[in-house]
Amino acid sequence: MPFVTASDGAQIYYKDWGSGRPVVLSHGWPLNSDSWESQQLFLATHGFRAIAHDRRGHGRSEQMWDGNEMDTYADDLAALIEALDLRDATLVGFSTGGGEVARYVGRHGTSRLAQVVLVSAVPPFMLKTDDNPGGVPVETFDAIRAGSLADRSQLYRDLADGPFFGNNRPGTDVSPGIRDAFWRQGLEAGHRGAYECVAAFSATDFRADLDAIDVPTLVIHGDDDQVVPFEVGGKASAERIKNATLKVYPGAPHGITDTHKEQLAADLVDFLTT
């Protein structure tokens, strides 16, 4: 299997499909690159080189004891981009992966980038604080951490059966297969890595990172996202990033990579070819 070596020796797994201008896909918590397969296949069959990696501690990448925070995630992404010598690349980040992409720009700049896409992404800053009063209370994330320690298998099942895909909304019936894939990918993550990633996606302030984005940026977010609320995530990011384009999916949940995969794939290709 293909791996790149991070600065601390961690082995980072990746998939590299197709040829053409590179598109690098960063996944959400507690998932891995398998969560991008629909979009990766679509992009690779439409003239792009689609690359997706497993974040450290997730999927097939090494389960390091340390480095389960955004600075290291971003540096791991940089190691991948540099090892493959990618240029004129588009970075696409879903949920936690959106934070990884933003922090990459903050730490490594945009010299290798052509575009950025944030999908249901956690920036600018999820946590409610004195200077971020519209954020999500820490008790929400404490409950996720407690659930992870008590029975993380059931935690992932509950997220998949409920808010992640909006399956708790009247009239919504997300297939058992999609929900089972979420649960499976979650359990493929290491316990420590997945646990520490909760703080990484919830308590990292990405506002300065967004200010550093100086390439065309597309922000996509569902307005019924129960995980990263639209007002906290997509709306606030689009308002902060210079000349960003915001595309709202009416009634859409957090997990639009599955629930709205055809629409998302079409929007990605449209942005990539504009």
The Cα–Cα gap between 153 and 161 comes to 12
Q: Bridge-partner residues for 145, per DSSP? A: none
Q: What pLDDT score does 83 carry?
A: 98
Angle at 270 between CA 264 and CA 272, to 5 degrees: 100
Q: What pLDDT score does 60 carry?
A: 98
In this prediction, residue 274 has a pLDDT band, given cuts at 50, 70 and 90, of: confident
- Residue range 138-178, pLDDT digits in tens: 999 999 999 999 999 999 999 999 999 999 999 999 999 99
The domain in which residue 227 lies consists of 3-272
Strand order in the sheet with 11-17: 3-5, 11-17, 48-53, 21-26, 89-94, 113-119, 217-222, 245-249
The Cα–Cα gap between 167 and 247 comes to 22
Reply yes or no on whether the pLDDT at 92 is more than 90: yes
Domain of 72: which CATH number? 3.40.50.1820
Helix (H, G, I), strand (E, B) or coil at 90: strand
Percent of the chain with pLDDT over 70: 100
Average pLDDT score over residue span 100-123: 98
Q: What pLDDT score does 159 carry?
A: 98
Give catalytic residue positions.
95, 225, 254
Reply yes or no on whether the pLDDT at 1 is more than 90: no
In this prediction, residue 48 has a pLDDT band, given cuts at 50, 70 and 90, of: very high
Q: What pLDDT score does 49 carry?
A: 98
Reply yes or no on whether the pLDDT at 40 is more than 90: yes
> What domain count does the chain have?
1
The Cα–Cα gap between 75 and 46 comes to 29
Q: Bridge-partner residues for 262, per DSSP? A: none
Q: Say if pTM beats, i.e. exceeds, 0.85.
A: yes
Q: What pLDDT score does 232 carry?
A: 98
What are the DSSP calls for 22-69, one per residue? EEEEE--TT--GGGGHHHHHHHHTTTEEEEEEPPTTSTTS---SS--S
The Cα–Cα gap between 253 and 260 comes to 9
The Cα–Cα gap between 40 and 50 comes to 5
- Residue range 189-247, pLDDT digits in tens: 999 999 999 999 999 999 999 999 999 999 999 999 999 999 999 999 999 999 999 99
